[in-house]
Structure formats: C-alpha cells, structure tokens
A = this chain, B = another copy of it.
Amino acid sequence: MEQPRKRAKPGRAPSPTGRTSRPRQAEVARLAGVSQATVSLVLNARSDGKGATISEETRQRVLDAARSLGYVPDPAARRLAAARNNLLGVFSFTATFPTDVQHSYYPFLVGVEQEAAALGYDLVLFTGSSSGGAGAVGPDALSRVRLADGCLFLGRHVPRAELKRLVADGFPVVHLGRREELEGLAWVGADYVSASRDVVARLAELGHRRIVLVREDDEAPASSDRQEGFLDGLARAGLPGGPAAVLRCVDPVAELTADRVRALVADGVTAFVAEETDTGAAWRAVSGAVREAGLSCPGDVSLALLGSPPPDVSREPVPMGFEVPRHALGAAAVRLLAAMVAGQEADEPLVACEFRDGVTAGPHEVHLP
C-alpha cells in the first residue's frame, strides 16, 4: 500500500513575502539526535520539580542545539496546543483612546496593563466600538471578544442583550463599574459608600455638627452610593440627617448662591460636602459660593469633595475627600477576570478609595453661647 506523498506546501498559499521559515522543534531534535517530543519536554521543563525526568546530558544536548539554531517557539502553535491564548480583551463602548483625554479610560488602563502584565496576559483592544471599525457593526459585534480568554467592559451604554449572551455562554466577562441590573454579570467598582462615610466621620471628628451634602439631580449608582455613605456617616456620628442634610440641585452653580450659603451658615451649617460628577458642577458651585459669600475656607467653613477635583481647578487648594483608585480598579478588574478565566470563582467587587486630607477642612471650634 502506497503512502500518500506529502504535498510540498499543502494547504498553503505561496508566501507573498518569501518569508524564511524559522527552525522548529523537529530540527532541534534532529540536530540533538532525539525526538521532537523530548525537545518539547526539555524546553518546557517544569520548574516545580515534577516530571523533570530527562537526563542531564540529553538536556544539555537539546539546549545547545536549540541555542545554536536560534530556536524560538511559535506562539500561535503554543497557544493552540494549550487551548488558551493568554489574551484578555478590553472592550469600551466609546473609543478607548478618545481625543478628549478628560473622558478617557487612561487611568484605568494603567492598572489594567500593569496587572495583566503581572499575571502574564496580553491585552486585545477591540476597536471600533464607536468608530464603527473592525467588527462589522452588526448585532454580533460583541461576539468578536470571544477571541480572548475573557473580556473587560468599560463604559456606560452596554448592549444588554449581547452581554447577557456572553455571560450565559459562560464566557468570562467583567464590567468596570458597578452594574447590578444584569444578573450574573461580574463587576468591580469603587466603594463610594465607605469612602463617603469616612469623610463625614472625619468632619465630625473635627467638631462639625451640621454638615450638608450638595449633589446633582441624577440617579447614577455612584451618586446614590455617596449619599448613602454620607447619611450613614451622619447617623453613626449622631448628627442630624434626613432630607434637610442633602441639597439636591438640578443646576448646582445656579442654585447655590452666596446668599443661600450665608443662610445655611447662619443656620448652623459648618461644613459642605460636594459629590463628584463628570462636570464637577457640585464642587464648583460649593467652592464658588463660599468664596463669593466672603467666607474663608478652612477657617469659617470646611469643605470636602467626594472624589477627585476636576482637572481645570487642580491649581486651587486641594479639597479634603478621597481619590477614586482608578489604577486599583483596573487592576482588580483584571485580577477578577483572570480568576474567572482560570476557573476560580473569586470575586472582589469593591475597591477602597483613598482618603485625602486636603486643606479645605479644619477643626470647628464650638462657639460659646
């Protein structure tokens, strides 16, 4: 029976570039006088002692041969055989690198990259979420992410149906930012509740007895969390809470006039806490109104900001408050994703924010009657 002859270049279009092929394990094996499998064994010697059943002499011969040939394993083949490609996806619903740096995911990506590197993963950036790029825009645009071992999602407007499908299929998915509406979707977020509570606690510690929160009129989880923590902080300090402690403004800058601030202060308020938003309106309103009212900041009243100051006012005095740990969030998301990819069901949804002393809050001396 005649063996079918090997085709010269079977199933392969002639390489357009005349690519010279690199040495493979088979050639190393030939040079070392061993089998290809042995080469593989030697090259992937388990560092954990186990399975290292290769004679030192053979080992050296193989190593020498590999070196002299300049052998380098083919990553594609390696990954194919390992049924895993060490790739984590990153999918954002706006351009990952928007022209407007302010709105970018950059700070998160710093953490994402670092942690991915530490864990031995490379990153796939799926493009065209906005720009209408790589994946045809069809309803299965999201499906491209399956090429990675798992995928990280950033951004607000997530196509629920698509994502649900991925989750249902058991594809490892992590969302950066709290997102509890979607059953079974893993996420990591910042612990705004604790952080806000801590800020209030610190103000109380400084002697403040009447503290108000200035927030915008939206229903984002990030806002509710802060309010919850704020009110909880008041309660724990035995301070008056309730609706009176919260100023909910549609347009903070317009509504929080100098007069209003003066009235509040006259009424006994000694500290203002602003929530952080995209626009930074709440903080801008508070600090502006206080200044206009002619009140000195750490002296007459104390201010705090539940988040990071907007970049364009970064030259102003640093407000007491907390930093959203964007690096840490990115890193945590990657850790969680990697755990899911590895089949462990670890979860670490909430990441602590870092308290920031700042210079806008000081002790409040209780005035004697």
Interface 9-residue window, one of A17-25, A194-202, A205-213, A225-233: A17-25
Interface 9-residue window, one of A125-133, A286-294, A347-355: A125-133
Cross-chain contact of A117 among B18, B79, B132 (Cβ < 8 A) = B132
A72: B residues at CB distance < 8 A? 139-140, 143-144, 146-147, 165
A122 CB within 8 Å of chain B: yes
Shortest C-beta distance, A328 to chain B (Å), equals 13
A112: B residues at CB distance < 8 A? 97
Question: In residues 51-83 of chain A, which contact B (Cβ within 8 Å)?
Answer: 67, 70-77, 79-83
Interface 9-residue window, one of A8-16, A175-183, A263-271, A296-304: A8-16
A313 CB within 8 Å of chain B: no
Cross-chain contact of A127 among B80, B121, B140 (Cβ < 8 A) = B121
Known A-B contacts A17-B170, A101-B106, A118-B131; A80 and B77 likewise in contact (beta carbons under 8 Å):
yes
A317 CB within 8 Å of chain B: no
Question: In residues 1-48 of chain A, which contact B (Cβ within 8 Å)?
Answer: 11-13, 15-22
The reply to whether B143 and A114 contact each other, CB–CB distance below 8 Å, is no
Question: Can you name the residue of chain B whose Cβ is closest to the Cβ of A21?
Answer: B83
The reply to whether B98 and A110 contact each other, CB–CB distance below 8 Å, is yes
A116 CB within 8 Å of chain B: yes
Question: Can you name the residue of chain B whose Cβ is closest to the Cβ of A105?
Answer: B97
Q: Using C-beta atoms within 8 Å of the partner chain, give the interface range for chain A.
A: 35 or more
Cβ contacts A148-168/B at 8 Å (1 or 0 each): 000000000000000001101
The reply to whether B113 and A97 contact each other, CB–CB distance below 8 Å, is yes
Question: Can you name the residue of chain B whose Cβ is closest to the Cβ of A13?
Answer: B82
A134 CB within 8 Å of chain B: yes
Cross-chain contact of A133 among B11, B87, B116, B342 (Cβ < 8 A) = B116
Q: How far is the CA of A126 from the CA of B88 in the complex (A)?
A: 11
Q: How far is the CA of A106 from the CA of B13 in the complex (A)?
A: 37
A86 CB within 8 Å of chain B: yes
A124 CB within 8 Å of chain B: yes
Q: How far is the CA of A11 from the CA of B21 in the complex (A)?
A: 27
Known A-B contacts A75-B146, A147-B85; A110 and B123 likewise in contact (beta carbons under 8 Å):
no
Q: How far is the CA of A144 from the CA of B79 in the complex (A)?
A: 10
Cross-chain contact of A116 among B82, B122, B134 (Cβ < 8 A) = B134
A360: B residues at CB distance < 8 A? none
Cross-chain contact of A70 among B71, B81, B106, B146 (Cβ < 8 A) = B146
The reply to whether B127 and A116 contact each other, CB–CB distance below 8 Å, is yes
A121: B residues at CB distance < 8 A? 127, 133-134
Q: How far is the CA of A101 from the CA of B206 in the complex (A)?
A: 36
A97: B residues at CB distance < 8 A? 106, 109-110, 112-113
Cross-chain contact of A169 among B12, B19, B172 (Cβ < 8 A) = B19
Can you give 24 contacting A-B residue pairs, CB < 8 Å?
A13-B82, A19-B170, A20-B169, A70-B140, A70-B143, A71-B143, A72-B143, A74-B80, A75-B144, A95-B113, A97-B110, A98-B110, A99-B327, A116-B127, A116-B134, A117-B127, A117-B128, A117-B131, A117-B134, A121-B134, A122-B125, A122-B126, A122-B144, A124-B125
